[in-house]
Amino acid sequence: MPEGKIVKALSGFYYVLNENGLVQCRARGIFRKNNVSPLVGDEVVYQAENDKEGYVLEIKDRKNELARPPIANVDQAILVFSAVEPDFSTVLLDRFLVLVEFNHIHPLICITKIDLITNEQHNAIELYAQAYRTAGYEVILTSSEKETGMQLLSPHLENKISVFAGQSGVGKSSLLNTLKPDLELKTNDISTHLGRGKHTTRHVELIKVGNGLVADTPGFSSLEFTNIEAEDLTFCFPELHKASENCKYRGCLHLKEPKCGVKLAVESGEIPHYRYDHYLDFLQEIKERKPRY
């Protein structure tokens, strides 16, 4: 049986890419019966009715999957955040990072619209960028308008499935249009009244950019920590996890426990206060989450 990768899902059809091109497939009823849906990014076995049509028979094991956006086997998430319009938000970035880390997806932080900021704002953004780099993240500063930083971003896309995700209006589609001008993805200006953009992307599709595949998605429509437990959260903050090796007690949640390595690292300035504050806020949110039955 032939095999391929689902690169687009739309209106009940799954478009499977193989070495000869695209085959439009429907999913067999057994998937619905087992409450399983094929996802963009899935490696599948299919039965071909002809060169252009067929049926998905089997979904290969996934290394990860996201519910919203619905995509599987993601290698990395390009987290796109603007320096301004809307303003750069560390709390929103940290929320995205936690979700990506929890799903075992490699994150890359991309800060856009640096052509719109003053020297003072640029210095502030550089300080944030350095803090995240110290935590272990790669950070790239870009401008689609000036095509700044594209030479740094492009190599990261090679031979990977990448998801572009972030707040509405930060320039995800503009970035992709700059990387691959023939895409002509729709973009919307920011609403000055709301201070945010409108979603311009309607479905998940993997687009070939260089030798990689990129999903321009509507972003995470849910940023809730539904499946993350309190004990998991430290692992989603790399610098906190590293500092926790110096905690006196195993299972330390870095709240009021004595001789906590994380709190010592915060006090010494090794970990920025805002990262620790966000950790505490997220921990409280997880603890107050209503139980699911």
Burial class (CB in 10 A: 0-12, 13-18, 19+), 126: middle
Report pLDDT digits (tens) over 108-142.
999 999 999 999 999 999 999 999 999 999 999 99
Asked whether the whole model's pTM tops 0.95, one would answer no
d(C-alpha 249, C-alpha 73), whole Å: 36
In this structure, the strands spanning 138-141 and 71-72 are unpaired
Q: 253-271 burial, b if ≥16 CB within 10 A, otherwise e?
A: bbeeeeebbbbebbeeeeb
The domains of the chain, with CATH numbers, are 3-61 (2.40.50.140), 71-216 (3.40.50.300), 230-287 (1.10.40.50)
* Element at 208 (helix H, strand E): strand 206-209
Whether 192 shows a pLDDT value over 70: the answer reads no
Decide if 1 contacts 45 (C-beta within 8 A). Answer: yes
Q: How far lies 85's CA from each of 4, 64, 97, 159, 171, in Å? A: 40, 32, 21, 32, 10
Decide if 156 contacts 76 (C-beta within 8 A). Answer: yes
Coil/strand/helix, residue 142: coil
Q: What is the mean pLDDT of the chain?
A: 88
Report pLDDT digits (tens) over 71-118.
999 999 999 999 999 999 999 999 999 999 998 999 999 999 999 999
**Cross-strand partners of 72:** 65
Q: Which of 38-42, 48-52, 155-159, 240-244 has the weakest average pLDDT?
A: 48-52
Tally of CB atoms within 10 A around 216 = 26
Report pLDDT digits (tens) over 5-24.
999 999 899 999 998 899 99
Q: What is the pLDDT of residue 33?
A: 84
Give the residue, 254 or 191, on which the prediction is more confident: 254
- Is the peptide bond prior to 86 cis by the omega test (within 30 degrees of 0)? yes
**Cross-strand partners of 17:** 5, 22
Q: How far lies 281's CA from each of 67, 91, 96, 132, 255, in Å? A: 24, 10, 14, 19, 11
> Percent of the chain scored above 70 by pLDDT?
90
